[in-house]
C-alpha cells in the first residue's frame, strides 16, 4: 500500500537521519521543505523531497496537499486518559476560590477519581476512555502515554492497566503504559505510608510485571504526596522489573526531587511549574527529558514552566497534555502547542519540536516517531490550507487539521 502526498506547501520536521532530541538553541530550528512530496509505504515513511525531484509513482492513493502543511503527528508523553466519570464540581469549586490542596483535603482530587474508578466496571471504563482516545487521534496525536493511578488498590490499578492494554490492541495509535500506583495515599493508608509503599512494591508491581502491563513507573513527588525518599524507593523497585521511571515533580514545590530523578536515570520529569537554578544544573547533560504541561497551568491557574530560562540554559523541553479529569480535561495537543507559545513564550519552532521529536523521546519512541525520516512510522497530520505553520498556534481556537494518517492509513 503506497500513499503519495504531492504539492505540499511545507513539510515540517524533516530530518534525513533521526535525532534523539533537540536542546537549547537547537530547538529554535525546525527543518522544513517547501513544495514537497512525501511517500508512505504500508506503515512506514519511504521517501520525501522537493516536488521537482518527485519520482513517477503509481501510488494506491495520491493526496494533493496544495496550500497545506504536513507534519508528524503529536507525541503526547503524559496523560491520564483512562478514568471514570469526571470532576466538574471541582472545576466550579476552584472558580469559587478553593485551591487544589483544599479540594484534596476534603476528599476531592485524586481520591475522588479513585473512588469512582473502583466503583466502575472495566468494560465501562474502557468505553469511556476509548471516546477520549478517538478524540485525541482526530486532533492529531499519533502516540500517547497513558498512566494508571486512579485505582490505588491492587485490583483498581490492574483494571486500569488492562484497559490501557486493550486500547493499544484496538486502535492504530502507539500507546505506552505507565504504572502510577504512587499517585496519592489512599485514605486507608493516610497514617501508614510505609504500608502503602509495601503494597505497591510487594503486591502491585509483581502482578503488573507478571501480566506485562506497564512500560514505565511513575510517582507524584510532591509536598503532601510522595517524598523524595519514597519516590526513590519506587524508582528502585521499578528498575527490578525493567520499568524506567517518568516522574511527576515540581508542580507546586521544589524539594530536590529533580536531582533524585536524574540520579536514577528517569526518562522524564514532568510538570516543572516551579524550577530552581539547582534543578537546571541537575538536568544539564543528563538523559532525563523535562516535560511541561501548559494546559494544566492554564486550567488551574498555577505558574507556567519557565521555558525560556530552561532553553537559555541549554536544556531540551517536551510538551504534553496531562489529559486528566481534575486538572486538564483536554488532550488537545494543538492547544498545548499554542499555549506554550502564548504563555511560555516558546517560538512555534520550539513548540513543534517539543511536541514531536522531544515528546517521542520522553516516551522512549524517538527511533520510530516524532519526525519525517525515512524508516519511521507513517504518522502525519495534513492541515487545511494555511498561510504558514505560524497559524497553528496563532489561530489557537480553530481546527486546522484536515486529515490524520496513522500507520499509513487515513483515519476516518
Q: What is the pLDDT of residues 7-16, one digit of tens each?
A: 999 999 999 9
- In angstroms, what CA-CA distances link 233 with 28, 160, 201, 239? 37, 23, 9, 10
Report strand pairing: 32-41 vs 44-50: antiparallel
Instruction: For residue 201, report the phi and psi dihedrals to the nearest 5 degrees.
Output: -80, -40
Contacts 24+ apart (CB under 8 A), 61-64: 61/1, 61/2, 61/3, 61/4, 61/410, 62/3, 62/4, 62/5, 62/6, 63/3, 63/4, 63/5, 63/6, 63/382, 63/403, 64/6, 64/7
The neighbouring-strand residues paired with 45 are: 40
> Rounded distance, CA 400 to CA 280, Å?
35
Ramachandran region, residue 279 (left: φ > 0; alpha: ψ -120 to 50; beta: rest) = alpha
The grid cell for 165 is 492494554
Q: Residue 278 has what pLDDT?
A: 97
Percent of the chain with pLDDT over 90: 90
- Please state the rounded mean pLDDT for residues 353-378: 98
In the block, which residue shows the cell 475522588?
Answer: 112
Q: Residue 110 has what pLDDT?
A: 87
| SS3 category, 188 | helix
Q: Residue 402 has what pLDDT?
A: 98
Nearest to 49 by CA among 66, 62, 61, 32: 32
User: Is residue 106 scored above 80 in pLDDT?
Assistant: no
- In angstroms, what CA-CA distances link 393 with 301, 316, 335? 20, 20, 7
User: Is residue 350 scored above 80 in pLDDT?
Assistant: yes
User: Is residue 136 scored above 80 in pLDDT?
Assistant: yes
Report strand pairing: 318-319 vs 74-76: unpaired
User: Which residues fall within 8 angstroms of residue 220, CB to CB, at 6 or more apart?
Assistant: 110, 149, 180, 182, 183, 184, 226, 248
Write the burial class of residue 375 (CB in 10 Å: 0-12 exposed, 13-18 middle, 19+ buried): exposed
Q: Residue 101 has what pLDDT?
A: 82
Positive/negative CA dihedral, 396, 402, 406, 408? negative
Amino acid at each position: 500500500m503506497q500513499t503519495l502526498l504531492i504539492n505540499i506547501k511545507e513539510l515540517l520536521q524533516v530530518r534525513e537521519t533521526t535525532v534523539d532530541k533537540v536542546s537549547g538553541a537547537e530547538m529554535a530550528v525546525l527543518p522544513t521543505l517547501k513544495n514537497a512530496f512525501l511517500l508512505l509505504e504500508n506503515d512506514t515513511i519511504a521517501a520525501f523531497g522537493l516536488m521537482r525531484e518527485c519520482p513517477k509513482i503509481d501510488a494506491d492513493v495520491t493526496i494533493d496537499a496544495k496550500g497545506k502543511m504536513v507534519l508528524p503527528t503529536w507525541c503526547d508523553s503524559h496523560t491520564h486518559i483512562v478514568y471514570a466519570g469526571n470532576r466538574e464540581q471541582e472545576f466550579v469549586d476552584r472558580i469559587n476560590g478553593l485551591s487544589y490542596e483544599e479540594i484534596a483535603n476534603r476528599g476531592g482530587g485524586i481520591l475522588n477519581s479513585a473512588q469512582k474508578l473502583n466503583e466502575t466496571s472495566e468494560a465501562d471504563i474502557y468505553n469511556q476512555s476509548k471516546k477520549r482516545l478517538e478524540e485525541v487521534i482526530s486532533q492529531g496525536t499519533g502516540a500517547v502515554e497513558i498512566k494508571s493511578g486512579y485505582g490505588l488498590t491492587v485490583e483498581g490499578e490492574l483494571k486500569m492497566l488492562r484497559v490501557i492494554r486493550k486500547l493499544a490492541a484496538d486502535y492504530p495509535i502507539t500507546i505506552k503504559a505507565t504504572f502510577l500506583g504512587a499517585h496519592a495515599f489512599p485514605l486507608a493508608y493516610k497514617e501508614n505510608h510505609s504500608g502503602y509503599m509495601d503494597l505497591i512494591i510487594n503486591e502491585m508491581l509483581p502482578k503488573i510485571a507478571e501480566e506485562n502491563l506497564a512500560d514505565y513507573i511513575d510517582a507524584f513527588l510532591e509536598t503532601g504526596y510522595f517524598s523524595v525518599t519514597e519516590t526513590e524507593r519506587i524508582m528502585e523497585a521499578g528498575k527490578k522489573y525493567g520499568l524506567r521511571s517518568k516522574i511527576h515533580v515540581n508542580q507546586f514545590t521544589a524539594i530536590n526531587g529533580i536531582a533524585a530523578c536524574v540520579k536514577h536515570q528517569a526518562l522524564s520529569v514532568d510538570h516543572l511549574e516551579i524550577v530552581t537554578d539547582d534543578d537546571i544544573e541537575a538536568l544539564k547533560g543528563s538523559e532525563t527529558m523535562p516535560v511541561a504541561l501548559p494546559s494544566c497551568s492554564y486550567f488551574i491557574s498555577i505558574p507556567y514552566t519557565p521555558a525560556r530560562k530552561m532553553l537559555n540554559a541549554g536544556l531540551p523541553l517536551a510538551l504534553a497534555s496531562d489529559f486528566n479529569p481534575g486538572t486538564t480535561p483536554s488532550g488537545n495537543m494543538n492547544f498545548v502547542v499554542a499555549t506554550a507559545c502564548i504563555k511560555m513564550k516558546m517560538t512555534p519552532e520550539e513548540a513543534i519540536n517539543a511536541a514531536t521529536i522531544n515528546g517521542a523521546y520522553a516516551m522512549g519512541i524517538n527511533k520510530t516517531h516524532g519526525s519525517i525520516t525515512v524508516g519511521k512510522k507513517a504518522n502525519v497530520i495534513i492541515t487545511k490550507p494555511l498561510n504558514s505553520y505560524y497559524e497553528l498556534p496563532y489561530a489557537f481556537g480553530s481546527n486546522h487539521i484536515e486529515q490524520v494518517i496513522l500507520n499509513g492509513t487515513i483515519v476516518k
